Amino acid sequence: MEKQIKEVLDNATAKIASIKTKQELMQASTEFLGKNGALANLMKGLRELPVEQKRVVGEQLNQLRDMLNKLVKDKDAEIETMLLNEKLSQEKVDVTIPVKPMSYGTLHPIEALKKDLINYFVARGFELKDGGDIETDYYCFEALNVPKEHPAREMQDTFYIDNETVLRTHTSAMQVRTMESQQPPIKMISTGNAYRIDEVDATHSPIFNQLEILVVDKNVTLADLIGTIEDLIKHLLGEKTEIRVRPSYFPFTEPSIEVDAVKDGQYIEMLGAGMVHPKVLEMSGIDSNIYKGFAAGLGLDRLAMLKYGVSDLRELYENDINLLKQVK
Ligand code: DAH
């Protein structure tokens, strides 16, 4: 029996060693390990052996089975490697084939504008202040010289969360928060959402974006304000743009102005501005005999419309990919 076992093993080793394909390997596997294969035949012979030999030979047959299995398994792995190498040697990467261009998203027009404005002002020494959309009545109105019964409140009606808490109607509240927390010289901007009761139409929305500008120092004049705004508008709309300054009224500035850009013979409303009212300076703890300030508030939505040629404000909120793609 031992001789037969050795013979099967030698046969199998020689045969499997010469095999080159999976098909041949499968055949060999059946030949040695199959139901009627060499191993199975030897197993049958086991029955006829005397009991004392059965254990020893049985053990040897188990070893034979393990060895045969290993031969097949190793060969299989060898063939796999061979096939893979063959495939790799045939496949060549053509590095000259042009790749598909990656498509990137872009910033939303308003966001792009905000970034541009922030860069513009930060480069000129302004500090960027972050404010919250929820504001107290005091910072939104009272401290800006708009007491409870002031008629100016009507134009800026908003959502009241309770009697003292509102969705801010303008970013001007950040003027007060800044002046309360630091003494001049102050050069700050703040940007974000503002909320007002308004019907949605081509140029109005109850939620919009503003940028607030505040400068407080000794010897600050209206000429500084106008110069600052002229430079800003030229940056936004081109060097050739002229500006028109009109008198206006805001409770928190004295005098107050509104500025239009003059482009292609048309006047485009740009912003409200003015010299910070002495009462506002005083309420925020700044001595109005020593310091003067100027401030301005700029609506970003209409400016984005102008810059990107959008005729209806609502288009900015509809995720129209062709519109968004204009922003580079
Ligand atoms: N807060 C004003 C508004 O939303 C805009 C404004 C006007 C801001 C004059 C200012 C300013 O800082 O000085 O209508």
pLDDT band, residue 228 (cuts 50/70/90): very high
Per residue in 22-39, pLDDT (tens digit) is 999 999 999 999 999 999
Stronger pLDDT, 264 or 169, i.e. the higher one: 169
Provide the percentage of residues in the chain whose pLDDT is more than 70: 100
CATH number of 109-324: 3.30.930.10
Per-residue pLDDT band for 95 (boundaries 50, 70, 90) equals confident
Q: Whose CA is nearest to atom 12 of ligand 1?
A: 296
211 lines ligand 1 (CB under 6 A): no
Q: Which two tokens stand for residue 121?
A: 């002002």
Q: Give the closest residue to 233 by CA, choosing from 269, 189, 265.
A: 269
* Residue 213: per-residue pLDDT: 98
Kind plus residue range of the DSSP H or E element containing 111: helix 109-122
% of the chain with per-residue pLDDT over 90? 70
Q: ∠ at Cα 301 (270, 202), nearest 5°?
A: 100
The CA distance from 40 to 42, in Å, is 5
- Is a pLDDT exceeding 80 seen at residue 303? yes
225 CA to middle of ligand 1, Å? Answer: 13
More confident residue, 324 or 13: 13
pLDDT tens string 124-133: 999 999 999 9
Cβ atoms of residues 153 and 141 within 8 Å:
yes
Mutational test site, ligand 1, from 187, 250, 259, max ligand atoms within 8 Å of CB: 250
Q: Is 156 in the pocket of ligand 1 (CB under 6 A)?
A: no
Describe the strand order of the beta sheet including 134-136 as a list of residue ranges. 134-136, 165-167, 160-162
Average per-residue pLDDT for the chain: 93
Residue with tokens 């040629």: 309
Position 324 scores a pLDDT of 83
Residue 245 pairs with which residues in a beta bridge? 259
CA of 1 relative to ligand 1 center, distance in Å: 106
For residue 310, pLDDT over 90 is answered with no
At 284 the pLDDT is 97
Res. 191: pLDDT tops 90: yes
What pLDDT score was predicted for residue 155? 80
Give me 109's structure tokens. 């027009």
Q: Where are the domains of the chain?
A: 2-90, 109-324
Statement: the pTM of the whole predicted model exceeds 0.85: no
Distances (CA, A) of 280 to 172, 253, 273, 291: 11, 8, 14, 12
Positive or negative torsion for Cα 141, 142, 146, 152: positive
Q: Compute the distance between CA of residue 128 and CA of residue 191 in angstroms, rounded to an integer.
A: 8
Tokens for 203, please give them. Answer: 């140029």
Predicted pLDDT at 26: 94
| pLDDT above 80 for 327 | no
**Interval 58-94: pLDDT, tens:** 999 999 999 999 999 999 999 999 999 999 988 888 8
| pLDDT at position 102 over 90 | no
Q: What helix, strand, coil percent values describe the chain, rounded to 5?
A: 45, 25, 30
Distance 172 CA to ligand 1 centre (A): 6
Q: How many helices (H) and strands (E) does the chain have?
A: 12, 10
Task: Kindly state if the Cβ of 251 falls inside 6 Å of ligand 1.
Answer: no
Q: Is 245 exposed, middle or buried (0-12, 13-18, 19+ CB in 10 A)?
A: middle
Q: Which of 202-206, 207-211, 246-250, 258-262 has the lowest mean pLDDT?
A: 202-206
pLDDT digits (tens, 9 = 90+) for 149-181: 888 888 888 888 999 999 999 999 999 999 999
Measure the CA–CA gap between 268 and 266, rounded to whole angstroms.
6
- Other residues' Cβ atoms within 10 Å of the Cβ of residue 248: 14
- Residue 310: phi and psi, rounded to 5, are -100, 130
How many Cβ atoms are within 10 Å of 263's Cβ, its own excluded? 15
